[in-house]
Structures are given as C-alpha cells and as structure tokens.
C-alpha cells in the first residue's frame, strides 16, 4: 500500500476520517432506528451494522489516495490505486476558492475547501478536510498562478474605465473591510416576509400532519364549556394561539438570520472580494472581481421603508441549486446595505457603474396594457373560484384581487425601464419591490431576441442578454420585455458590435 507523498504533493488532514464517519452516522441514523424498532427481539441487527465497514474502508481509501500538487500553471489532483484519476485544473480557470467550517471544524482548526471553475455545476475540486494553513496555501497558490498565467491580451486596454489591482499572492496589501452587518441589519433580514411565510407554511403542514388542530379543537371545546362564556373563551384562545404562533415563527426567523449572517464582513483584497459569515458554520467565500458577470440591486418594499437595499452579483462559476441557493455564488455579496452606499458598492465592482443615475428609457407604448392583461390572466381564475366557493365573501375577495392586480400592473409599467450605458446594459422591473439588473459589455456572450404570438401582434420583442455561466442556472442575466421591434433590433446590433469590439474579460 503506497502512502508516501511525492515531491510537492499535499494530502488531506488525518481528522478528515472523523468527519466522514460523523457524516455517515448522521445519514444512517434514521434507517438504523427503523431497523432496531422493526426488528425487536431478533439478532440480525448487529450483523446489519457490518454494512458500515465497507463505507469506512472507502473513506480510508479516499484519504490514503487523494493527493494534490501545484504545478507552474495548474493544480493537479490525483486519486486511486487501481482505477486512477488525475484532474488538471488550470489556475486561469479557477473561479472561487471557498472555505466552510462548522463548530467541530473550528475547534480542530480545519476546514472544507471547494475550488470552482467557470462552468462547473459542482465544485471542480472538494478537499474535505484540510488544515487552515493548507487552505491559505491553496488560495494563495491558485490566485498567484492565475495572475501569472493571465495573457497580456486579456488585460484591459489603456484608457479603459477600470482600475487594475493585483490578485492575492501578488500584493502585500491588507484586506479592506467594505461592509459589516450590524445587529439591526441582521434583525431586518430576519423579519423578511418571505422567510416568515416559509416558516409558517412548514409549521402549518407539521401541525396538520400530527393532528394538532383536531386535538386543539377538542380541548378548546371542553374548556369553553367549563367557562362561563364559551364564545368569548374560544375567540380569546384563538387570538392567543395566533399571536403565540406568529411570535414563535418570528423568533425562529430571527434566530436563523443570526446563525446565517452573524459576523458578516465583505472585504476587498487586491482584485478579490471575500465574504465571511456564520455563527455556528463559518463560511468564507472568494469572489474574484474580474469574474463578476452581472449585478442586481434589489429594493424590497420592507427594506425600502428603513432606507436599505441589497446588492447581489453573479459570477461565471457556481451552481445556483446548491444548499446556499446562490445564483453563481453572489447571493451573500451585500445582503443588506444602506441605500446611500449602493453607488459605492457598485463602484467597487466596476468603476463608473451607477444604475441609479443611468439614462433610463421606458418600454413600448402598449407595454402597460401587456402588464395588465398578463396579471389579469393569472388572477381571474382565482377570483372565479373564490366567488363559486365562498359566495359573497368570495366576491369581496375577487374584487380585492382584481383591484390589487390593476394597481400592481400600473406600478410595474411605470417602473419598468432599460438603460444603455458605456459600461453595458441595465434593466429595471418590479411593482412594489423593484430590482435593477446590469451586465457589462466585455462580459456579454450572446444577445437574443424572443417573441411569442402576443408579442408579434403588438410588435413587441424581448431582448435577452447572457454572459458566461453554468448551463443549469436558467434565465438570462438581463431581460427587457415589450420593446418595440425596431428598438430591440437596434439595441441587439449595438450590444453585439460593442461586445465584439471589446476585449473579453475572463
């Protein structure tokens, strides 16, 4: 059995076996409980535990065979004795080098490292687990090698509206903190209506599954009969239950927000951003500035009331379906920021970009009608069902739904706009909560025109602009709906020509 390291090779930390055993034990806990419960009084349960042995043997095999080394222009990872695999990851293609630590990782001073490239739906390389010194070495060697491998043609031309900073490993500048979240910011993220509704749906389904409502009705009726005023007792009990449930869900949401965003910091180090966050599980995400493909500035209505916004970025790598729910790695870039600091954050990403001061242009003349028709098509079936099943109450609900749809359509039509700036293209959308999506000329991969039968009837076209990214992410980086055909064709020709004339920034 070969265990020696070749020159310049690295291996996993010995405690990686401990983490693998814990992970397997956690995943097999419920099946093991079911086996013990269903097979009471029999002796075959102990023999079933032997199935754990080959799993452990595979983990030992992985630990003993996984090796990596740093060549001049690539990271080389090899594994296996009989069936050998050797993966070569050029430094120039490395997108992110991220760190993840739970409580046990932090206690043992180790971490899980994920290395992503531009088009991977999954991490190109996953090292679980390594020492913190090994993580820093991977990160420094990867980005230093990428800076050396960068061809001269990929550098911006003279006079380009962008400052060029060195990458990690090529500069001695200390990280600069751009954004820190205060406890108030974390609380505001915790009272997110969407998070509360999700928790409410989970709680409601759990209560229904375990028959909580039936049991509560029986106890409430019994207690109401014992009281002097049953009707008043039931009303008071119902109000108390609702208030307690909402308060409990709010506390859960706040707790989840503190666990996710505690000690959040957005840092800039040379040409790379670092996002640090987490109370129990500590995560460090690396976002190279040059790999940012698109930017989104969100103005949720509930954050707008307190003068806050969000800034998300999408990079070329990463899988949006991962557990973080990220879209190309940037959901946590600036999850909440004061509105007056948005321009500063955007200037850090790309000097000269400011979506707030862009030359916004309206959509087509008949676009408001399209927004209204689209909204009514979705809401009228619900309104009809409400009238059929709830009679007069349903009629009131239907009138409210239609009125709200008309109001939302008018606001969407009034706020929808697009802007063509020297740095790229931006689109604004939304009714009560708005979002501004922007991408850059030197990141554009494709510009498409799309139309359906209704578009052809009204002379409308949708412009879709895509940049580099994993195929599984879905959607376009910037989409402009209901543009007149002539304007859409001129815009496509303008963007394609500008992208062809620019030097693609990878």
Query: How many angstroms separate the CA atoms of 248 and 242, rounded?
Result: 10
156 in any annotated domain: no
> Domain check: are 322 and 420 in the same one?
yes
Instruction: Map residue 144 onto helix, strand or coil.
Output: helix
pLDDT digits (tens, 9 = 90+) for 245-295: 777 778 888 888 999 999 999 999 888 899 999 998 889 988 888 889 999
286 in any annotated domain: yes
With 70 as the cut, is the pLDDT of residue 194 above it? Answer: no
* Cα–Cα–Cα angle for 219, 224, 228, rounded to 5 degrees: 155
Query: How many angstroms separate the CA atoms of 315 and 120, rounded?
Result: 12
Instruction: Map residue 138 onto helix, strand or coil.
Output: helix
Task: Give exposure, 198-232, as e/b (b: 16+ Cβ within 10 Å).
Answer: ebeeeeeeeeeeeeeeeeeeeebeeebeeeeeeee
Tokens of residue 356, six digits: 């707030």
Among residues 274, 256, 278, 257, the alpha carbon closest in space to that of 103 is found at 278
With 70 as the cut, is the pLDDT of residue 68 above it? Answer: yes
60 in any annotated domain: yes
**150, 177, 212 - which closes a domain:** 150
Query: How many angstroms separate the CA atoms of 442 and 119, rounded?
Result: 18
**103, 128, 150 - which closes a domain:** 150
With 80 as the cut, is the pLDDT of residue 418 above it? Answer: yes
CB-count burial class (<10 Å; 0-12, 13-18, 19+) for 348: middle
Query: How many angstroms separate the CA atoms of 413 and 372, rounded?
Result: 9
User: What's the mean pLDDT when you consider all of the chain?
Assistant: 79
> Domain check: are 292 and 312 in the same one?
yes
> Domain check: are 278 and 358 in the same one?
yes
391 in any annotated domain: no
pTM for the full predicted model? 0.77
> Domain check: are 212 and 76 in the same one?
no
Among residues 383, 401, 472, the alpha carbon closest in space to that of 120 is found at 472
**Which structural domain range is residue 196 located in?**
187-261
186 to 194, 278, 279, 335, 433: CA distances (angstroms): 15, 12, 12, 9, 20
> Domain check: are 211 and 285 in the same one?
no
Q: Write down the pLDDT at residue 270.
A: 83
405 in any annotated domain: no
Query: How many angstroms separate the CA atoms of 271 and 147, rounded?
Result: 10
Query: How many angstroms separate the CA atoms of 249 and 199, rounded?
Result: 6
> Domain check: are 219 and 136 in the same one?
no
- Within 10 Å of residue 285's Cβ, how many Cβ atoms? 24
Query: How many angstroms separate the CA atoms of 264 and 285, rounded?
Result: 11
CB of 468 within 8 A of CB of 293?
Answer: yes
Q: Write down the pLDDT at residue 337.
A: 96
339 to 299, 306, 309, 311: CA distances (angstroms): 9, 9, 6, 10
284 in any annotated domain: yes
Given the structure tokens 């108390």, which residue do they identify?
A: 240
> Domain check: are 304 and 351 in the same one?
yes
Q: Is the dihedral of CA 173, 178, 184, 189 positive or negative?
A: negative
62 in any annotated domain: yes
Q: Write down the pLDDT at residue 321.
A: 40
Number of domains in the chain: 3
> Domain check: are 73 and 215 in the same one?
no
CB of 338 within 8 A of CB of 295?
Answer: no
Please list the residues that pair with 10 across neighbouring strands: 68
Residue 174 banded pLDDT, cuts 50, 70, 90: confident
> Domain check: are 200 and 142 in the same one?
no
**253-258, long-range: CB within 8 Å, 24+ apart, which pairs?**
253/190, 253/191, 253/192, 253/195, 253/196, 253/199, 254/187, 254/190, 254/191, 255/190, 256/190, 256/195, 257/186, 257/187, 257/189, 257/190, 257/192, 257/195, 258/186, 258/190
> Domain check: are 298 and 446 in the same one?
yes
The pLDDT of 132-159, averaged and rounded, is 68
Task: Give exposure, 260-277, as e/b (b: 16+ Cβ within 10 Å).
Answer: bbeebebbbbbbbbbbbb
pLDDT digits (tens, 9 = 90+) for 441-491: 999 989 999 998 888 888 999 999 998 765 444 557 899 999 999 999 999
How far, rounded to the nearest angstrom, does the alpha carbon of residue 59 sit from its chain's CA centroid? Answer: 30
Query: How many angstroms separate the CA atoms of 447 and 476, rounded?
Result: 10
End-to-end Cα, the chain, rounded Å: 43
Higher pLDDT, 267 or 326: 267
Most trustworthy range by pLDDT among 79-83, 122-126, 274-278, 285-289? 274-278
Query: How many angstroms separate the CA atoms of 495 and 498, rounded?
Result: 5
> Domain check: are 290 and 436 in the same one?
yes
171 in any annotated domain: no
Q: Write down the pLDDT at residue 223.
A: 59
Q: Following DSSP, what letter does each residue of 329-349 receive, concatenated?
A: EEEEEEEEEEGGGHHHHHHHH
How far, rounded to the nearest angstrom, does the alpha carbon of residue 361 sit from its chain's CA centroid? Answer: 29
Domain CATH code at residue 96:
2.30.29
- Within 10 Å of residue 69's Cβ, how many Cβ atoms? 16
């Amino acid at each position: 059995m070969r265990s020696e390291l070749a020159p310049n090779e690295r291996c996993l930390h010995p405690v990686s076996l401990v983490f693998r055993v814990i992970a397997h034990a956690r995943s097999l806990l419920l099946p093991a409980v079911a086996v013990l419960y269903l097979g009471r009084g029999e002796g075959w349960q102990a023999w079933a535990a032997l199935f754990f042995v080959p799993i452990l043997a595979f983990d030992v095999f992985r630990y003993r065979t996984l090796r990596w080394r740093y060549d001049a222009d690539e990271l080389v990872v090899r594994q296996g004795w009989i069936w050998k695999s050797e993966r070569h990851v050029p430094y120039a293609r490395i997108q992110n080098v991220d760190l993840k630590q739970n409580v046990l990782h932090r206690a043992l001073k180790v971490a899980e490292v994920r290395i992503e490239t531009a088009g991977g739906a999954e991490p190109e390389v996953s090292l679980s687990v390594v020492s913190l010194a090994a993580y820093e070495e991977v990160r420094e060697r990867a980005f230093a090698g990428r800076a050396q491998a960068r061809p001269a043609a990929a550098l911006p031309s003279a006079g380009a509206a962008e400052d060029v900073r060195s990458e990690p490993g090529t500069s001695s500048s200390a990280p600069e903190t751009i954004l820190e979240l205060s406890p108030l910011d974390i609380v505001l993220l915790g009272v997110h209506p969407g998070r509360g509704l999700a928790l409410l749906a989970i709680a409601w389904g759990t209560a229904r599954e375990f028959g909580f409502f039936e049991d509560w009705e029986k106890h409430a009726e019994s207690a109401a009969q014992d009281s002097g005023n049953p009707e008043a007792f039931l009303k008071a009990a119902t109000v108390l239950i609702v208030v307690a449930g909402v308060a409990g869900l709010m506390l859960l949401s706040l707790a989840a927000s503190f666990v996710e965003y505690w000690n959040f910091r957005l840092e800039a180090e040379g040409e790379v951003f670092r996002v640090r966050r987490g109370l129990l599980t500590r995560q460090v995400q690396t976002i190279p500035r040059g790999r940012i493909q698109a930017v989104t500035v969100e103005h949720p209505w509930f954050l707008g009331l307190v003068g806050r916004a969000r800034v998300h970025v999408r990079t070329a790598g990463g899988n949006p379906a991962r557990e973080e729910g990220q879209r190309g790695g940037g959901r946590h870039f600036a999850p909440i920021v004061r509105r007056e600091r948005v321009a500063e954050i955007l200037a850090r990403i790309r000097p000269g970009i400011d979506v707030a001061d862009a030359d916004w242009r309206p959509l087509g003349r008949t676009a408001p009608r399209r927004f209204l028709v689209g909204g009514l098509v979705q809401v009228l079936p619900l309104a009809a069902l409400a009238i059929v099943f709830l009679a007069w109450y349903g009629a009131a609900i239907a009138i409210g739904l239609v009125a709200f749809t008309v109001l939302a359509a008018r606001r969407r039509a009034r706020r929808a706009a697009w802007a063509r700036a020297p740095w790229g293209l931006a689109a604004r959308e939304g009714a009560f909560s708005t979002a501004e999506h922007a991408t850059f000329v030197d990141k554009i991969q494709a510009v498409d025109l799309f139309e359906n039968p209704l578009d052809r009837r009204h002379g409308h076209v949708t412009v879709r602009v895509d940049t580099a990214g994993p195929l599984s992410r879905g959607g376009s980086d910037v989409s402009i709906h209901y543009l007149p055909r002539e304007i859409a064709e001129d815009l496509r020709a303008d963007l394609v020509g500008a992208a062809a004339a620019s030097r693609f920034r990878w």
